[in-house]
Amino acid sequence: MIVEDPLIVEKINALLPDQIRVWGYALAQKSFHARKECDSRRYEYLLPTSTLMPELDWCKDDNKGSYRLPASTLQKFRDALQLFVGTHSFHNYTIRRNQHTHMSLKRYIKDITVSDPFLPMPLGDQWLSVKLYGQSFMLHQIRKMIAMAMLTIRTQTPLPVIAESLSHKALINIPKAPASGLLLDHPVFRWYNEKIDTQLRQPIDFDLYKDQMQTFKKTWIDQQIFETEAKEKDFSRSPVSFSFSSACSFAQMAQQEKINELVHAVAGVAHIQKPLYQQRLAIDKVKIEKAPVDTALSEANIKCSLESEKKRCQQGLVKAKDLLNGAQNQASSMEAKLQELEHANEKYEVDYRSLCKFREELAQLLDQALDGQKVESQALVKVDQTKEKLKEIEQDKEGLKQVRELVKVADDALLEAILDLRTSNKEGSLGAGQVYFPQEAFDALKKAREVYPRLPAIQRPVEFKDEADDTGAFYSPMQRYLWDVRRQLAKLLDWCDIQVLEIMDMDAQLHITLGEALDQYNVERRQLALTL
């Protein structure tokens, strides 16, 4: 309990160093909690007016002390700070958090006043005092507010950018003004004072000691700030916020912040590129493996559909149905495997689309930041070389794709010809030594050779006799000749598939290499953009 001694304050202060003072005391409620009962706070920020001077390359640090703030610039600075008054989201003015989900990022600023310029020392810097009154402030909030207002004035950036920085859409990396100019003037306990019984307890009112506090502040706090700035030049030496050799506009800050975010976004999902291409490769391999199964299924269906074979050989029909069931089971198994792989790859595909979008946006922003300047580096050389190799591979892959389609056309034409021979008298009308070969198949194979000259030659079929196949169905020598050509085409498709698989392996690896080289190149460009 505080002793009822009218000289208690003087006695306490006599035991304290000169830089620490007690102004008074008040008997509070037992449940009183200084932090919780405080409903608002008053801060002050002191800054030299030279921090608002325009960027002048020829101006030396030594000349800044002679700078005197024009009335128009002072008014613009006041107007800039007034934009913070009211309730706003200060997500850009503290440590980074999600501005869409954190209601705690909103703060209510009641008032901001800027003093007239004053000279603490006759020949020294001219200073301003900014007084801020608000419910509460977050970490770094005031220093970032002051820095934002300073930068808009110094770089002659339009004031609406401050309002934009308070919107949920804006994400900006705002630098901090030096901590040396900031001080807590005093907390305010208005709500507590209103609820207590003033007949039993005194309100907590700092205004009772206003004059004493002001004298103390000027002597021990303000003077220390002025002297420290004169020696240390904190407001001139800050490498990011207050370098007088380079301007910093809102647009540049927003652009740099976006570049930083995209660099981190790319780094966050770039790891999926390798498993994505490996999975894509596995899917393509299954599709290639499945193609002859689909062909076998088609042939089995055709053999079962021939009514003449049903009548001629019931046993052959049973065998054909067995072939059909086996082919259907194998095709179903391959389809299930394919779906399983594609399902597992869905997330990779989504992430990869995001990665491509991030890379595209990052490249555009870096092009803007560097004004189209090309940065020579090993990474860029690797990017260009890899793109050239991918172009060659893509042409090779496209050629093989056309060949496969043409071979399939020829194969379908041969199958139709076999069915046509079995249901018509065309074979009997052929002269001795003549071969029935569909023109469509011939044209398709000729075109395939033109598209891909490295295509292996088809071996000439041997003579055949009129004999039954594995189902018991009989085929004439001409029909069996065409069946053999189809088997040769199947080998040709196998060869194409082997080439495609090799190309796909190289394509996947080159895309992974390209992504890594591109990311490295953009990191190098980002470093250059930071120095501009």
Non-local CB neighbours of 408 within 8 Å, separated by 6+ positions: 493
Beta partners for 500?
Answer: none
Where residue 172 falls (left for φ over 0; alpha for ψ -120 to 50; beta otherwise) is beta
Q: How far is CA 264 from CA 19, 77, 212, 257, 259, in A?
A: 47, 35, 52, 11, 9
Q: How far is CA 110 from CA 81, 145, 181, in A?
A: 12, 14, 21
Amino acid (one-letter) located at 47: L
What DSSP element (H or E) covers 238?
A: none
Closest CA to 90 of 105, 108, 110, 111: 105
Burial 193-227 (b: 16+ CB within 10 A, else e): beebeeeeeeebeeeebeeebeebeeeeebeebbe
59 φ, ψ to 5°?
-80, 125
Burial 71-89 (b: 16+ CB within 10 A, else e): eeebebbbebbbbbeeebb
Contact status, residue 151 vs residue 254, Cβ threshold 8 Å:
no
Crossing angle of the two packed helices 250-269 and 477-531, in degrees rounded to 10:
140
Rounded CA gap, 119 and 431, in Å? 118
Q: How far is CA 472 from CA 459, 463, 466, 469, in A?
A: 27, 20, 12, 5
Rounded CA gap, 186 and 179, in Å? 17
Q: How far is CA 169 from CA 147, 164, 166, 486, in A?
A: 20, 8, 8, 63
- Count Cα atoms within 13 angstroms, Cβ side, for 378: 1
Neighbours of 514 (CB within 10 A): 19
Rounded CA gap, 229 and 178, in Å? 10
Q: Is the dihedral of CA 328, 330, 332, 338 positive or negative?
A: negative
Burial 320-353 (b: 16+ CB within 10 A, else e): beebbeebeebbeebeeebeebbeebeebeebbe
Angle at CA of residue 498, ends 497 and 503, nearest 5°: 95
Rounded CA gap, 466 and 449, in Å? 32
Residue 489 structure tokens: 């085409």
Annotate 66-79 with three-state secondary structure: HCCCCHHHHHHHHH
Asked if residue 521 belongs to a known ligand binding site, the reply is: no
Q: For residue 496, give the 3-state DSSP assignment.
A: helix
Q: Could you tell me which residues are annotated as the binding site?
A: 43
Q: Could you tell me which residues are annotated as the binding site for substrate?
A: 43
